Structure 1
Amino acid sequence: MIRSLFLSVGMAVIANAGMAACVDQEDMCETPSGGYHIELPETENPPLVVFLHGYGGTATGTLKNRSLVDPLLARGYAVMAPEGSERNGRQSWNFFPGWEGRDETAFLREVVQDASDRFGVDDDHVVLGGFSAGAFMVYYLACAAPDTFSAYAPVSGGFWRPHPEACDGPVRMFHTHGWIDNVVPLEGRLLGGGRFHQGDIFAGLEIWRVANECADTKPSGFSTTGQFMRRRWTGCADGAMLEFALFPGGHNVPQGWSDMMVEWYEGLPGG
Protein backbone atom coordinates (compact mmCIF):
# COMPACT_ATOMS: atom_id res chain seq x y z
CA MET A 1 0.00 0.00 0.00
CA ILE A 2 1.36 3.38 -0.96
CA ARG A 3 1.53 6.24 1.49
CA SER A 4 0.32 9.39 -0.23
CA LEU A 5 0.87 13.01 0.56
CA PHE A 6 -0.76 16.19 -0.56
CA LEU A 7 1.01 19.55 -0.37
CA SER A 8 -1.16 22.50 0.74
CA VAL A 9 -0.15 25.94 2.05
CA GLY A 10 3.38 24.74 2.69
CA MET A 11 2.31 21.64 4.66
CA ALA A 12 2.27 17.96 3.73
CA VAL A 13 -0.83 16.13 4.93
CA ILE A 14 -1.83 12.51 4.62
CA ALA A 15 -4.33 11.86 1.84
CA ASN A 16 -6.27 8.77 0.74
CA ALA A 17 -4.25 5.75 -0.37
CA GLY A 18 -3.67 5.74 -4.11
CA MET A 19 -3.35 9.52 -4.43
CA ALA A 20 0.06 11.08 -4.91
CA ALA A 21 1.75 14.26 -3.78
CA CYS A 22 1.19 17.03 -6.30
CA VAL A 23 -0.31 14.57 -8.80
CA ASP A 24 -2.71 17.03 -10.46
CA GLN A 25 -1.45 19.79 -12.72
CA GLU A 26 -3.06 22.50 -10.57
CA ASP A 27 -1.42 20.98 -7.49
CA MET A 28 2.07 20.61 -8.94
CA CYS A 29 4.94 21.11 -6.51
CA GLU A 30 6.27 24.49 -7.56
CA THR A 31 9.89 25.62 -7.48
CA PRO A 32 11.43 28.88 -8.73
CA SER A 33 12.27 27.35 -12.13
CA GLY A 34 9.30 25.03 -12.70
CA GLY A 35 7.51 22.19 -11.01
CA TYR A 36 7.14 18.46 -10.53
CA HIS A 37 4.85 15.70 -9.31
CA ILE A 38 6.00 12.98 -6.95
CA GLU A 39 4.78 9.71 -5.49
CA LEU A 40 6.22 8.29 -2.29
CA PRO A 41 6.54 4.79 -0.85
CA GLU A 42 5.83 4.07 2.80
CA THR A 43 9.51 3.93 3.69
CA GLU A 44 11.18 6.99 5.19
CA ASN A 45 14.07 8.76 3.44
CA PRO A 46 13.57 6.73 0.24
CA PRO A 47 15.92 6.75 -2.74
CA LEU A 48 14.53 8.60 -5.73
CA VAL A 49 14.02 7.92 -9.42
CA VAL A 50 13.56 11.14 -11.41
CA PHE A 51 11.99 10.30 -14.78
CA LEU A 52 11.83 12.86 -17.61
CA HIS A 53 8.97 12.70 -20.11
CA GLY A 54 9.41 12.78 -23.87
CA TYR A 55 8.70 15.60 -26.34
CA GLY A 56 5.12 16.77 -25.95
CA GLY A 57 4.68 14.80 -22.74
CA THR A 58 3.85 15.99 -19.25
CA ALA A 59 4.73 15.19 -15.67
CA THR A 60 1.17 13.98 -15.13
CA GLY A 61 1.48 11.66 -18.11
CA THR A 62 4.63 10.12 -16.65
CA LEU A 63 2.84 9.16 -13.43
CA LYS A 64 -0.04 7.67 -15.41
CA ASN A 65 2.39 5.04 -16.70
CA ARG A 66 1.73 2.64 -13.84
CA SER A 67 3.91 -0.12 -15.29
CA LEU A 68 6.78 2.33 -14.82
CA VAL A 69 5.77 3.81 -11.46
CA ASP A 70 4.25 0.96 -9.43
CA PRO A 71 7.27 -1.41 -9.49
CA LEU A 72 9.50 1.45 -8.29
CA LEU A 73 7.15 2.29 -5.42
CA ALA A 74 6.89 -1.39 -4.49
CA ARG A 75 10.67 -1.56 -4.21
CA GLY A 76 10.76 1.46 -1.88
CA TYR A 77 11.69 4.19 -4.37
CA ALA A 78 10.07 7.60 -4.62
CA VAL A 79 9.19 8.56 -8.21
CA MET A 80 9.47 12.15 -9.38
CA ALA A 81 8.09 13.46 -12.68
CA PRO A 82 9.42 16.97 -13.44
CA GLU A 83 7.64 19.16 -15.98
CA GLY A 84 9.63 20.02 -19.10
CA SER A 85 10.01 23.56 -20.41
CA GLU A 86 8.16 24.84 -23.47
CA ARG A 87 9.86 24.33 -26.81
CA ASN A 88 8.03 25.07 -30.06
CA GLY A 89 4.73 25.14 -28.22
CA ARG A 90 5.17 21.75 -26.53
CA GLN A 91 6.79 20.52 -23.35
CA SER A 92 10.31 19.18 -23.80
CA TRP A 93 13.85 19.69 -22.51
CA ASN A 94 16.52 22.23 -23.32
CA PHE A 95 19.17 19.56 -23.76
CA PHE A 96 21.34 20.56 -26.72
CA PRO A 97 24.42 22.70 -25.91
CA GLY A 98 23.95 26.30 -27.05
CA TRP A 99 20.15 26.30 -27.17
CA GLU A 100 18.47 29.16 -25.37
CA GLY A 101 16.12 28.38 -22.54
CA ARG A 102 15.96 27.05 -19.02
CA ASP A 103 19.10 25.70 -17.40
CA GLU A 104 17.76 22.16 -17.01
CA THR A 105 20.65 20.90 -14.90
CA ALA A 106 20.05 23.68 -12.38
CA PHE A 107 16.30 22.99 -12.51
CA LEU A 108 16.71 19.28 -11.85
CA ARG A 109 19.05 19.95 -8.95
CA GLU A 110 16.46 22.40 -7.64
CA VAL A 111 13.52 19.99 -7.74
CA VAL A 112 15.50 17.18 -6.11
CA GLN A 113 16.55 19.51 -3.30
CA ASP A 114 12.95 20.66 -2.95
CA ALA A 115 11.72 17.07 -2.69
CA SER A 116 14.40 16.34 -0.10
CA ASP A 117 13.30 19.34 1.97
CA ARG A 118 9.55 18.69 1.62
CA PHE A 119 9.31 14.92 1.63
CA GLY A 120 12.59 13.61 2.99
CA VAL A 121 13.80 11.77 -0.10
CA ASP A 122 17.43 10.67 -0.06
CA ASP A 123 19.19 13.13 -2.35
CA ASP A 124 22.39 11.06 -2.19
CA HIS A 125 20.67 8.18 -3.99
CA VAL A 126 19.02 9.63 -7.08
CA VAL A 127 18.72 7.91 -10.46
CA LEU A 128 17.97 10.24 -13.37
CA GLY A 129 15.99 8.44 -16.06
CA GLY A 130 14.09 9.66 -19.06
CA PHE A 131 12.34 8.62 -22.24
CA SER A 132 13.05 9.92 -25.77
CA ALA A 133 13.67 13.69 -25.44
CA GLY A 134 13.94 13.03 -21.71
CA ALA A 135 16.67 10.50 -22.48
CA PHE A 136 18.45 13.09 -24.65
CA MET A 137 18.43 15.32 -21.57
CA VAL A 138 19.84 12.51 -19.43
CA TYR A 139 22.68 11.98 -21.89
CA TYR A 140 23.71 15.62 -22.08
CA LEU A 141 23.44 16.25 -18.34
CA ALA A 142 25.50 13.13 -17.56
CA CYS A 143 28.06 14.23 -20.15
CA ALA A 144 28.52 17.75 -18.77
CA ALA A 145 27.89 17.19 -15.05
CA PRO A 146 28.25 13.46 -14.25
CA ASP A 147 28.42 13.99 -10.48
CA THR A 148 24.97 15.59 -10.34
CA PHE A 149 23.17 12.29 -9.63
CA SER A 150 24.30 8.85 -8.54
CA ALA A 151 23.30 7.02 -11.75
CA TYR A 152 21.67 7.57 -15.15
CA ALA A 153 19.07 5.44 -16.92
CA PRO A 154 18.04 6.76 -20.36
CA VAL A 155 15.43 4.93 -22.46
CA SER A 156 15.21 5.41 -26.25
CA GLY A 157 17.45 8.42 -26.57
CA GLY A 158 21.09 9.46 -26.88
CA PHE A 159 23.26 12.22 -28.34
CA TRP A 160 22.53 14.33 -31.43
CA ARG A 161 25.06 15.11 -34.12
CA PRO A 162 27.56 16.58 -33.91
CA HIS A 163 28.32 14.22 -31.07
CA PRO A 164 30.22 15.72 -28.12
CA GLU A 165 33.95 15.50 -28.63
CA ALA A 166 34.25 14.18 -25.09
CA CYS A 167 32.32 13.81 -21.85
CA ASP A 168 33.40 14.23 -18.27
CA GLY A 169 33.36 11.04 -16.30
CA PRO A 170 33.17 8.49 -14.99
CA VAL A 171 29.44 7.76 -15.08
CA ARG A 172 27.18 4.91 -14.00
CA MET A 173 24.75 4.48 -16.87
CA PHE A 174 22.15 1.92 -17.88
CA HIS A 175 20.88 2.62 -21.43
CA THR A 176 17.81 0.78 -22.76
CA HIS A 177 16.71 0.87 -26.40
CA GLY A 178 14.25 -0.84 -28.74
CA TRP A 179 15.63 -2.85 -31.64
CA ILE A 180 12.91 -1.59 -34.02
CA ASP A 181 12.68 1.97 -32.67
CA ASN A 182 11.92 4.14 -35.73
CA VAL A 183 11.51 7.41 -33.79
CA VAL A 184 15.01 7.32 -32.34
CA PRO A 185 16.63 4.63 -34.50
CA LEU A 186 19.84 3.03 -33.31
CA GLU A 187 21.62 4.60 -36.30
CA GLY A 188 20.00 8.03 -35.79
CA ARG A 189 17.91 10.03 -38.26
CA LEU A 190 17.46 13.49 -39.77
CA LEU A 191 14.86 15.87 -38.37
CA GLY A 192 13.48 19.28 -39.39
CA GLY A 193 14.34 18.93 -43.06
CA GLY A 194 17.92 18.08 -42.19
CA ARG A 195 18.46 20.87 -39.67
CA PHE A 196 18.90 18.36 -36.86
CA HIS A 197 20.40 14.90 -36.81
CA GLN A 198 19.84 12.35 -34.07
CA GLY A 199 23.09 10.58 -33.36
CA ASP A 200 24.16 6.97 -33.60
CA ILE A 201 23.52 5.14 -30.32
CA PHE A 202 26.61 2.95 -30.67
CA ALA A 203 28.78 6.02 -31.32
CA GLY A 204 27.38 7.43 -28.08
CA LEU A 205 28.35 4.29 -26.20
CA GLU A 206 31.89 4.72 -27.50
CA ILE A 207 31.96 8.23 -25.99
CA TRP A 208 30.89 6.79 -22.64
CA ARG A 209 33.54 4.05 -22.80
CA VAL A 210 36.19 6.71 -23.30
CA ALA A 211 34.78 8.87 -20.48
CA ASN A 212 34.74 5.80 -18.24
CA GLU A 213 38.34 4.91 -19.19
CA CYS A 214 37.30 1.40 -20.17
CA ALA A 215 40.24 -0.83 -21.01
CA ASP A 216 38.60 -2.42 -24.05
CA THR A 217 35.80 -1.75 -26.49
CA LYS A 218 34.69 -5.35 -26.06
CA PRO A 219 31.94 -5.82 -23.44
CA SER A 220 33.08 -7.54 -20.28
CA GLY A 221 29.82 -9.44 -19.87
CA PHE A 222 26.58 -10.45 -21.54
CA SER A 223 23.25 -11.58 -20.06
CA THR A 224 19.57 -11.96 -20.85
CA THR A 225 16.79 -10.76 -18.56
CA GLY A 226 13.39 -11.69 -19.96
CA GLN A 227 13.08 -9.84 -23.26
CA PHE A 228 16.23 -7.78 -22.64
CA MET A 229 19.60 -8.62 -24.18
CA ARG A 230 22.24 -6.93 -22.08
CA ARG A 231 25.92 -6.13 -22.44
CA ARG A 232 28.12 -4.37 -19.92
CA TRP A 233 31.53 -2.77 -19.57
CA THR A 234 33.11 -3.10 -16.12
CA GLY A 235 36.86 -2.93 -16.73
CA CYS A 236 36.78 0.84 -16.43
CA ALA A 237 37.66 3.67 -14.02
CA ASP A 238 36.86 3.24 -10.35
CA GLY A 239 33.14 3.78 -9.81
CA ALA A 240 32.28 3.64 -13.50
CA MET A 241 29.63 1.32 -14.94
CA LEU A 242 28.13 1.15 -18.41
CA GLU A 243 25.41 -1.24 -19.49
CA PHE A 244 23.27 -1.41 -22.63
CA ALA A 245 20.00 -3.36 -22.88
CA LEU A 246 18.24 -4.02 -26.18
CA PHE A 247 14.64 -5.20 -26.34
CA PRO A 248 12.68 -6.36 -29.41
CA GLY A 249 10.13 -3.53 -29.39
CA GLY A 250 9.98 0.02 -30.66
CA HIS A 251 9.84 3.50 -29.17
CA ASN A 252 8.51 2.99 -25.66
CA VAL A 253 9.44 2.30 -22.06
CA PRO A 254 9.24 -1.51 -22.09
CA GLN A 255 7.51 -3.71 -19.56
CA GLY A 256 9.95 -4.91 -16.94
CA TRP A 257 12.26 -1.91 -17.24
CA SER A 258 11.71 -0.58 -13.72
CA ASP A 259 12.60 -3.83 -11.95
CA MET A 260 15.57 -4.47 -14.22
CA MET A 261 16.94 -0.96 -13.72
CA VAL A 262 16.58 -1.07 -9.92
CA GLU A 263 18.30 -4.44 -9.73
CA TRP A 264 21.16 -2.97 -11.76
CA TYR A 265 21.33 0.13 -9.55
CA GLU A 266 21.24 -1.80 -6.30
CA GLY A 267 24.08 -3.98 -7.57
CA LEU A 268 26.36 -0.96 -7.95
CA PRO A 269 28.86 -0.06 -5.22
CA GLY A 270 26.94 2.34 -3.00
CA GLY A 271 23.71 1.80 -4.98
Structure 2
Amino acid sequence: MTWKGKQREYTVHAPPNYTPTERLPLIVVMHPYPADGTYAAELTGFNAKADKEGFLVAYPNGMDQAYNALICCGAEDDIGFIGTMTKHLVDTWKADPQRIYATGISNGADMSYKLAVELPDTLAAIAPVSGGYIGPAAQNPSYMPKTPVSVATFVGGLDKHYDEFEQGIKSWTERLDCKAGQPDKVKGNNTRTLAKCRDRSEFTTYRLPDMGHDWPGSKDQRMGDPVTGVNATDLI
Protein backbone atom coordinates (compact mmCIF):
# COMPACT_ATOMS: atom_id res chain seq x y z
CA MET A 1 0.00 0.00 0.00
CA THR A 2 1.04 3.64 -0.44
CA TRP A 3 1.09 5.57 2.81
CA LYS A 4 2.17 9.21 3.12
CA GLY A 5 3.64 9.00 -0.37
CA LYS A 6 5.79 5.94 0.34
CA GLN A 7 5.39 2.32 -0.62
CA ARG A 8 4.74 0.22 2.47
CA GLU A 9 4.59 -3.55 2.65
CA TYR A 10 3.03 -6.17 4.88
CA THR A 11 2.41 -9.90 4.60
CA VAL A 12 -0.82 -11.63 5.59
CA HIS A 13 -1.02 -15.29 6.56
CA ALA A 14 -4.40 -17.02 6.62
CA PRO A 15 -5.10 -20.52 7.96
CA PRO A 16 -6.02 -23.29 5.46
CA ASN A 17 -9.72 -23.15 6.36
CA TYR A 18 -9.92 -19.38 5.85
CA THR A 19 -13.08 -17.99 4.33
CA PRO A 20 -14.12 -14.32 4.31
CA THR A 21 -17.59 -15.32 5.50
CA GLU A 22 -16.21 -16.03 9.00
CA ARG A 23 -14.65 -13.27 11.08
CA LEU A 24 -11.33 -14.48 12.46
CA PRO A 25 -9.09 -12.89 15.11
CA LEU A 26 -6.09 -10.94 13.80
CA ILE A 27 -2.62 -10.78 15.34
CA VAL A 28 -0.22 -8.07 14.14
CA VAL A 29 3.33 -9.37 14.65
CA MET A 30 6.17 -6.84 14.54
CA HIS A 31 9.83 -7.51 13.91
CA PRO A 32 12.91 -6.26 15.81
CA TYR A 33 15.42 -3.78 14.41
CA PRO A 34 16.99 -4.47 11.97
CA ALA A 35 14.69 -7.07 10.41
CA ASP A 36 11.44 -7.54 8.50
CA GLY A 37 8.19 -9.45 8.60
CA THR A 38 9.76 -12.57 7.12
CA TYR A 39 12.13 -12.77 10.08
CA ALA A 40 9.29 -12.11 12.55
CA ALA A 41 7.40 -15.07 11.09
CA GLU A 42 10.43 -17.34 11.33
CA LEU A 43 11.32 -16.26 14.87
CA THR A 44 7.84 -16.57 16.36
CA GLY A 45 6.31 -19.47 14.47
CA PHE A 46 2.96 -17.70 14.32
CA ASN A 47 2.05 -19.10 10.89
CA ALA A 48 1.93 -22.66 12.21
CA LYS A 49 0.05 -21.49 15.30
CA ALA A 50 -2.49 -19.66 13.11
CA ASP A 51 -2.99 -22.81 11.02
CA LYS A 52 -3.68 -24.81 14.17
CA GLU A 53 -5.85 -22.30 16.05
CA GLY A 54 -7.55 -20.50 13.18
CA PHE A 55 -6.61 -16.82 13.06
CA LEU A 56 -5.10 -14.27 10.68
CA VAL A 57 -1.56 -12.92 11.09
CA ALA A 58 -0.19 -9.70 9.61
CA TYR A 59 3.52 -8.86 9.48
CA PRO A 60 4.05 -5.15 8.68
CA ASN A 61 7.50 -4.12 7.48
CA GLY A 62 9.08 -1.07 9.03
CA MET A 63 10.90 1.42 6.80
CA ASP A 64 14.62 0.63 6.61
CA GLN A 65 13.90 -2.44 8.78
CA ALA A 66 12.70 -0.31 11.74
CA TYR A 67 9.54 1.09 13.28
CA ASN A 68 9.18 4.59 14.66
CA ALA A 69 8.44 3.22 18.13
CA LEU A 70 8.92 4.75 21.58
CA ILE A 71 12.72 5.17 21.51
CA CYS A 72 13.76 4.01 18.02
CA CYS A 73 13.87 4.39 14.98
CA GLY A 74 13.12 6.97 12.31
CA ALA A 75 10.24 9.41 11.84
CA GLU A 76 7.70 7.47 9.76
CA ASP A 77 4.01 7.50 10.63
CA ASP A 78 3.91 3.81 11.52
CA ILE A 79 0.85 4.34 13.71
CA GLY A 80 -1.08 5.56 10.68
CA PHE A 81 0.33 2.84 8.44
CA ILE A 82 -0.50 -0.04 10.81
CA GLY A 83 -3.88 1.47 11.69
CA THR A 84 -4.78 1.69 7.99
CA MET A 85 -3.50 -1.84 7.45
CA THR A 86 -5.72 -3.25 10.22
CA LYS A 87 -8.75 -1.38 8.87
CA HIS A 88 -8.10 -2.88 5.44
CA LEU A 89 -7.87 -6.35 6.97
CA VAL A 90 -11.18 -5.81 8.75
CA ASP A 91 -12.89 -4.50 5.61
CA THR A 92 -11.37 -6.84 3.02
CA TRP A 93 -10.13 -9.93 4.86
CA LYS A 94 -13.03 -9.73 7.32
CA ALA A 95 -10.86 -9.78 10.46
CA ASP A 96 -12.94 -9.52 13.63
CA PRO A 97 -12.68 -5.86 14.77
CA GLN A 98 -13.28 -6.94 18.38
CA ARG A 99 -10.35 -9.37 18.33
CA ILE A 100 -7.33 -7.51 17.00
CA TYR A 101 -4.08 -8.01 18.89
CA ALA A 102 -0.47 -6.86 18.54
CA THR A 103 2.80 -8.44 19.54
CA GLY A 104 6.46 -8.05 18.68
CA ILE A 105 9.98 -8.25 19.99
CA SER A 106 12.39 -5.44 20.88
CA ASN A 107 11.60 -2.51 18.52
CA GLY A 108 8.39 -4.36 17.59
CA ALA A 109 7.48 -4.82 21.27
CA ASP A 110 7.96 -1.11 21.93
CA MET A 111 5.74 -0.48 18.92
CA SER A 112 2.96 -2.62 20.39
CA TYR A 113 2.86 -0.38 23.47
CA LYS A 114 2.71 2.67 21.22
CA LEU A 115 -0.16 1.19 19.22
CA ALA A 116 -2.06 0.45 22.44
CA VAL A 117 -1.89 4.12 23.41
CA GLU A 118 -2.22 5.83 20.04
CA LEU A 119 -4.81 3.61 18.30
CA PRO A 120 -7.78 3.78 20.70
CA ASP A 121 -10.68 1.37 20.16
CA THR A 122 -8.50 -0.82 17.93
CA LEU A 123 -6.61 -3.40 19.99
CA ALA A 124 -8.07 -5.83 22.50
CA ALA A 125 -4.65 -6.75 23.90
CA ILE A 126 -0.91 -6.58 23.26
CA ALA A 127 1.94 -8.97 24.06
CA PRO A 128 5.33 -7.22 24.05
CA VAL A 129 8.32 -9.59 24.20
CA SER A 130 11.70 -8.22 25.31
CA GLY A 131 10.47 -4.66 24.88
CA GLY A 132 9.07 -1.90 27.01
CA TYR A 133 6.85 1.05 27.75
CA ILE A 134 9.87 3.31 27.69
CA GLY A 135 11.26 6.53 26.27
CA PRO A 136 10.26 10.21 26.51
CA ALA A 137 6.60 9.77 25.57
CA ALA A 138 6.08 7.01 28.12
CA GLN A 139 7.41 9.29 30.86
CA ASN A 140 4.43 11.61 30.38
CA PRO A 141 1.76 10.65 32.95
CA SER A 142 -1.03 11.31 30.42
CA TYR A 143 0.47 8.89 27.87
CA MET A 144 -1.65 5.80 28.48
CA PRO A 145 -4.50 3.91 26.75
CA LYS A 146 -7.83 5.72 26.64
CA THR A 147 -9.69 2.45 25.99
CA PRO A 148 -9.01 -0.88 27.76
CA VAL A 149 -6.06 -2.84 26.34
CA SER A 150 -4.85 -5.89 28.22
CA VAL A 151 -1.14 -6.72 28.25
CA ALA A 152 0.94 -9.88 28.51
CA THR A 153 4.65 -9.06 28.55
CA PHE A 154 7.76 -11.24 28.69
CA VAL A 155 10.97 -9.84 30.22
CA GLY A 156 14.32 -11.59 30.59
CA GLY A 157 16.34 -11.14 33.76
CA LEU A 158 19.57 -11.10 31.71
CA ASP A 159 18.27 -8.48 29.28
CA LYS A 160 20.41 -5.34 29.49
CA HIS A 161 17.19 -3.30 29.32
CA TYR A 162 15.54 -5.22 32.18
CA ASP A 163 15.48 -2.28 34.62
CA GLU A 164 13.92 0.01 31.99
CA PHE A 165 11.27 -2.57 31.19
CA GLU A 166 10.45 -2.98 34.87
CA GLN A 167 10.08 0.78 35.24
CA GLY A 168 7.73 0.80 32.26
CA ILE A 169 5.61 -1.94 33.83
CA LYS A 170 5.47 0.10 37.03
CA SER A 171 4.42 3.27 35.17
CA TRP A 172 1.69 1.52 33.16
CA THR A 173 0.20 -0.33 36.11
CA GLU A 174 0.28 2.73 38.38
CA ARG A 175 -1.44 4.94 35.80
CA LEU A 176 -4.17 2.38 35.23
CA ASP A 177 -4.44 1.52 38.94
CA CYS A 178 -3.62 -2.15 38.39
CA LYS A 179 -3.55 -4.33 41.51
CA ALA A 180 -1.11 -7.23 41.26
CA GLY A 181 -1.56 -10.60 42.89
CA GLN A 182 1.20 -12.87 44.13
CA PRO A 183 3.58 -14.27 41.49
CA ASP A 184 2.96 -17.84 40.34
CA LYS A 185 5.77 -20.20 39.41
CA VAL A 186 5.85 -21.11 35.72
CA LYS A 187 8.34 -23.89 34.98
CA GLY A 188 11.57 -23.56 36.90
CA ASN A 189 12.47 -20.09 38.14
CA ASN A 190 10.05 -18.31 35.82
CA THR A 191 7.11 -16.43 37.31
CA ARG A 192 3.80 -14.99 36.13
CA THR A 193 2.16 -12.04 37.87
CA LEU A 194 -1.40 -10.99 37.07
CA ALA A 195 -2.63 -7.45 37.80
CA LYS A 196 -6.25 -6.36 37.38
CA CYS A 197 -6.66 -2.74 36.30
CA ARG A 198 -9.20 0.00 36.93
CA ASP A 199 -10.51 -0.05 33.36
CA ARG A 200 -11.11 -3.84 33.59
CA SER A 201 -8.06 -4.67 31.51
CA GLU A 202 -5.37 -7.00 32.85
CA PHE A 203 -1.58 -6.79 32.92
CA THR A 204 0.29 -10.12 33.01
CA THR A 205 4.06 -10.16 33.43
CA TYR A 206 6.21 -13.20 32.71
CA ARG A 207 9.61 -12.74 34.34
CA LEU A 208 12.23 -15.14 32.99
CA PRO A 209 15.41 -14.72 35.07
CA ASP A 210 17.66 -16.82 32.82
CA MET A 211 16.68 -15.19 29.49
CA GLY A 212 18.30 -12.29 27.65
CA HIS A 213 16.88 -10.11 24.85
CA ASP A 214 15.08 -12.99 23.16
CA TRP A 215 11.80 -14.71 22.22
CA PRO A 216 11.16 -17.55 24.69
CA GLY A 217 10.50 -20.92 23.13
CA SER A 218 11.94 -20.08 19.71
CA LYS A 219 14.84 -22.08 18.25
CA ASP A 220 15.99 -19.13 16.11
CA GLN A 221 19.74 -18.71 16.51
CA ARG A 222 19.68 -14.92 16.56
CA MET A 223 16.91 -14.02 19.03
CA GLY A 224 15.39 -17.32 20.12
CA ASP A 225 15.64 -18.88 23.56
CA PRO A 226 14.59 -22.55 23.36
CA VAL A 227 15.61 -23.52 26.92
CA THR A 228 13.73 -21.02 29.11
CA GLY A 229 10.85 -23.44 29.66
CA VAL A 230 8.23 -20.94 28.46
CA ASN A 231 6.86 -20.68 24.92
CA ALA A 232 5.70 -17.12 24.27
CA THR A 233 3.85 -17.96 21.05
CA ASP A 234 1.75 -20.63 22.79
CA LEU A 235 0.97 -18.35 25.75
CA ILE A 236 0.10 -15.36 23.57
Mapped contact 2:134–2:165 kept (Cα < 8 A): no
Say how many residue pairs are matched. 210
2:213 aligns with: 251
Distance 1:113 1:146 in 2: 13
1:119 CA drift (Å):
2.1
Mapped contact 1:171–1:212 kept (Cα < 8 A): no
Please tell me whether residue 210 in structure 1 is matched to residue 174 in structure 2: yes
Structure 2 counterpart of 1:179, one-letter code: G
Distance 1:94 1:66 in 2: 21
1:165 aligns with: 140
1:85 CA drift (Å):
1.6
Distance 2:203 2:54 in 1: 24
1:70 aligns with: 48
1:180 aligns with: 158
Mapped contact 1:145–1:168 kept (Cα < 8 A): no
Spell out the pairing of 1:5-154 with structure 2 (5 A cutoff). Answer: 30-32=1-3, 34-41=8-15, 42-43=17-18, 44-65=22-43, 67-86=45-64, 91-96=65-70, 101-154=75-128
Mapped contact 1:156–1:178 kept (Cα < 8 A): yes
Higher RCO, 1 vs 2 (CA within 8 Å, ≥6 residues apart): 2
TM-score, normalised to structure 1's length?
A: 0.69
Structure 2 counterpart of 1:95, one-letter code: A
1:239 CA drift (Å):
2.3
1:260 aligns with: 235
Please tell me whether residue 239 in structure 1 is matched to residue 219 in structure 2: no
1:201 aligns with: 165
Distance 2:92 2:120 in 1: 25
Tell me the alpha carbon deviations over residues 123-147 of structure 1, each in whole angstroms, 9 at most, x when there is no partner.
Answer: 3211111110111111223234453
SS of 2:111's partner is helix
Pair 229,50 (structure 1): closer, same or farther in 2 beyond 3 Å: same
Distance 2:215 2:72 in 1: 28
Please tell me whether residue 220 in structure 1 is matched to residue 181 in structure 2: yes
Distance 1:120 1:161 in 2: 35
1:97 CA drift (Å):
7.7
1:225 CA drift (Å):
3.6
Structure 1 counterpart of 2:192, one-letter code: R
Pair 98,153 (structure 1): closer, same or farther in 2 beyond 3 Å: closer
SS of 2:96's partner is coil
Return the index of the structure with the highest Cα Rg.
1
Mapped contact 2:133–2:172 kept (Cα < 8 A): no
Mapped contact 1:35–1:111 kept (Cα < 8 A): no
Distance 1:226 1:96 in 2: 32
Mapped contact 2:67–2:73 kept (Cα < 8 A): no
Mapped contact 2:71–2:135 kept (Cα < 8 A): no
TM-score, normalised to structure 2's length?
A: 0.79
SS of 1:92's partner is coil
RMSD between superposed Cα atoms in Å: 2.4
Mapped contact 1:172–1:241 kept (Cα < 8 A): yes
1:224 CA drift (Å):
3.3
SS of 2:88's partner is helix
Pair 99,222 (structure 1): closer, same or farther in 2 beyond 3 Å: closer
